[in-house]
Amino acid sequence: MSADPTQVLAFETDCHIFDGCGFPAPGLHSFLFEPIFGDMDGAVYFNKTMLLALLGSVIIVGFFWAAFAKPKLVPGKLQMVAEAGYDFVRRGIVYETMGKKEGEKYVPFMVATFFFVWILNLWSIIPVAQFPVTAVIAYPAGMALVIYFMWMSVTFKRHGFVGGLKNLTGYDKSLGGILPLVMLIEFFSNVIVRPFTHAVRLFANMFAGHTLLLLFTIASWYLLNGIGIAYAGVSFVMVIVMTAFELFIQAVQAYVFVLLACSFLQGAVAEHH
């Protein structure tokens, strides 16, 4: 059966280095959750990660709705923060990657994607939640697939079927005899590897970060007995350090995810020569 990591941590409060119990390192069980309702084998299934993803969506929509429902010429604090976030994605990612002319139409989607990924990552350090939703591969894979299909549709809509294939395979007749090999490599890289790495990059970083946080948190409880207090203190300091580091990584991974999405679309709208 799967286990909630909060339950694991609760169990560890009674397990110490001098009690004779072995250190129960975090593992895959720390990323699996029992259904809040429904059955894992049934048609209806809803667990903690789904709840956090839903809450994240509601928070993002609510935040921007509150900020821009009644926009003012001289913005208030909430509107100012929302405008700063929107402008960061628009100018710092979309325009820088795709240019203003081609990128403007994709700005709303990219802004929504950035903040959605960010808040799913951010749940990792929020009390009670304490889990990055993107550490479950289904979520990064789902978002990467949406972007992948958008990328493919834009490619073939812009260039047609033959032109789209040339775009995806890096067709360049000046390459001469090595052209077939280059086209094969480019096709494999663009059509198969890119969407895979797009999802795995986000997933792997969040999975590893959460594992390290769990490791040091459990170790703090485990060592909290007798002379182990000193070691527990060091481990607890590492929890604080890793939490601060995770804050940075969470924002960076949201940035990279959207940057790569814009890069794919930029390649789709680029003129093939």
Confidence at residue 12, expressed as pLDDT on a 0 to 100 scale: 44
Confidence at residue 14, expressed as pLDDT on a 0 to 100 scale: 57
* Tally of domains within the chain: 1
Confidence at residue 271, expressed as pLDDT on a 0 to 100 scale: 67
186 Cβ partners below 8 Å, 6+ apart? Answer: 168, 169, 170
- Residues counted in the chain: 273
55 Cβ partners below 8 Å, 6+ apart? Answer: none
Among the residue ranges 16-25, 120-129, 200-209, the one predicted with the least confidence is 16-25
Among the residue ranges 230-234, 260-264, 265-269, the one predicted with the least confidence is 230-234
Q: For Cα atoms 19, 23, 28, give the angle at the middle one, nearest 5 degrees.
A: 145
**CB-based burial label for 110 (10 Å; 0-12, 13-18, 19+):** buried
Domain hosting 71: range is 5-269
Confidence at residue 18, expressed as pLDDT on a 0 to 100 scale: 60
Give the distance from CA 270 to its chain's centroid: 27
Q: Is pLDDT above 70 for 6?
A: no
pLDDT tens, position by position, 102-119: 999 999 999 999 999 999
**CB-based burial label for 71 (10 Å; 0-12, 13-18, 19+):** exposed
pLDDT tens, position by position, 136-185: 999 999 999 999 999 999 999 998 988 888 888 887 877 778 888 988 99
Calpha distance 201→252 (Å, rounded): 11
For residue 118, give the nearest of 79, 147, 149, 89 by alpha carbon. Answer: 89
pLDDT tens, position by position, 65-85: 999 888 887 888 899 999 999
